[in-house]
Amino acid sequence: MTFKTCRYRVIDTSEYEFPNTLWHIKPAKEIAIKTSAMLFIGVSGIFMNSIILIVLIRNKWLWGASHYLIGNLALIDLLTLIFCPWFMLVRDFYQQYVLKNFGCQFEGFLQATLLLAGVGAVMLVSYDRLAAAALSADARVTRSTAPKAIFCTWFVAIVLSLPWILRREYTERQWLDYLETFCVEDVQVLGIYWHFTLTLLVWIPLGLMVITYGTIMWRLECSARELSSRGTGQAITKARSRALRITACVLMTAVVCRLPYTVLIYWRNNLSNNINSVEGSYDSMWFVANYLMYLNCAVNPLIYGFTNTKLRKAMDRTPGIACCKFGSWCCVCTVLHRKHIVNEDKHTDKIFVIEGTPRPNKKLSNVIKNILHINKETLDFSIKNDDVTTKPTKVTPVNACTGP
């Protein structure tokens, strides 16, 4: 555990026995259960995030702005699941702080950097979906600006995490019968900084998701009503239903995985300075809150990656991954949709005419204007994360005329 510092009278602790119960390491049964639970989300999350990265690397036709953002999120989640959970387990299993000075400073910095970078990645993906669904092409993240935005989120995350290096210190205290080791925080700085970090990790992402997906649903609802009055709008209705399902998954996952961490921080700040105040129910809550934060990293590839139609198609075409048939089993309705299309087009010969997509206007004034003003005449719903590139992107089927 990480203990808060407090003002106390300097005494020679070597003359007194250790005032707490010594247990050194937790029971083997508890260690096995917690390790198994962490291995489940760790292995599954690492596997799914690795699949997304491999598919993006080996398929150059996916190298667009939206997929850059999804790849950045997968990379952050992969690094988080590789390093952070095991630091947490070591801190939980041992009574002493066994990570020493390096762990005291680096562990907090690494965890804060990856979690904050993950929040930045989610915000970028959410904005890209909002721009694709409700704004014009000028407001979208382009292929050239996506790497710059990703770099900025990483840089901000690293800068904001520096207090975990500068304001934490590994400390040893000798008692008559025991050498106590722990990691001390400067509560005058980090006590306030905890609430600032909590706002970045929980409240800002939740608020942004509600605004983003709420705007998408509102835009689809308006378009569906307008087209329904003309006797059309079946495609918009289907897109609205799909967006509603994705919105429910995103918001439910964010609430379940992030709110317990909020409860933990407020509980921590209201703890008394009595001995054993961080054991019992608080100890269990500490493990659950951190576990759910890492669970979010394992669920993200399902929400943001495996729901992407282009990525699923690429999975079924990538050597070494195609055998798993991710594009089929990750979405049951995909199989039914394919059968419906085959039956409709069974007796139709098609000629595909490739049309180019014009480059968007990159002037800053036009970008700001399009962000502040929603285009009401057109709808470019793109939960599928279709990218605006200079490559041919539109395929128009034309029925071929057959001779007598």
From the list 64, 155, 98, the residue with the least C-alpha distance to 357 is 64
User: What integer best gives the mean pLDDT of the chain?
Assistant: 75
CATH number at residue 97: 1.20.1070.10
Q: How far is CA 330 from the centre of its chain?
A: 19
Q: Which of 83-87, 96-100, 138-142, 255-259 has the lowest mean pLDDT?
A: 138-142
**Is 74 among the domain residues?**
yes
Q: How many domains does the chain have?
A: 1
- Per-residue pLDDT band for 344 (boundaries 50, 70, 90) equals very low
Percent of the chain with pLDDT strictly greater than 90: 20
Strand 350-355 vs strand 394-399: parallel, antiparallel, or unpaired?
Answer: antiparallel
**Is 173 among the domain residues?**
yes
From the list 247, 259, 253, 181, the residue with the least C-alpha distance to 214 is 247
| Token representation of residue 189 | 């700085």
Residue 393 CA to residue 362 CA, distance in Å, equals: 19
**Is 377 among the domain residues?**
no
**Is 7 among the domain residues?**
yes
- Over residues 321-342, the mean pLDDT reads 56
Residue 128 and residue 69 in contact, taking contact as beta carbons nearer than 8 Å = yes
Task: Measure the CA angle with vertex 223, ends 219 and 224; round to 5°.
Answer: 115
- Per-residue pLDDT band for 55 (boundaries 50, 70, 90) equals very high
Residue 41 CA to residue 237 CA, distance in Å, equals: 35
296's CB contacts (< 8 A; 6+ apart) are 253, 254, 257, 258
**Is 264 among the domain residues?**
yes
**Is 70 among the domain residues?**
yes
Its domain, for residue 88, covers 2-315
Q: Indicate the residue type of 228.
A: S
Residue 389 CA to residue 157 CA, distance in Å, equals: 29
Q: Report whether pLDDT(134) > 50.
A: yes
**Is 329 among the domain residues?**
no
Cα-based distances in Å from 194 to 188, 198, 285: 11, 6, 17
- Over residues 243-254, the mean pLDDT reads 76
pLDDT at res. 192: 76
- Per-residue pLDDT band for 177 (boundaries 50, 70, 90) equals confident
Residue 316 and residue 322 in contact, taking contact as beta carbons nearer than 8 Å = yes
From the list 125, 52, 44, the residue with the least C-alpha distance to 314 is 52
**Is 398 among the domain residues?**
no
pLDDT at res. 54: 93
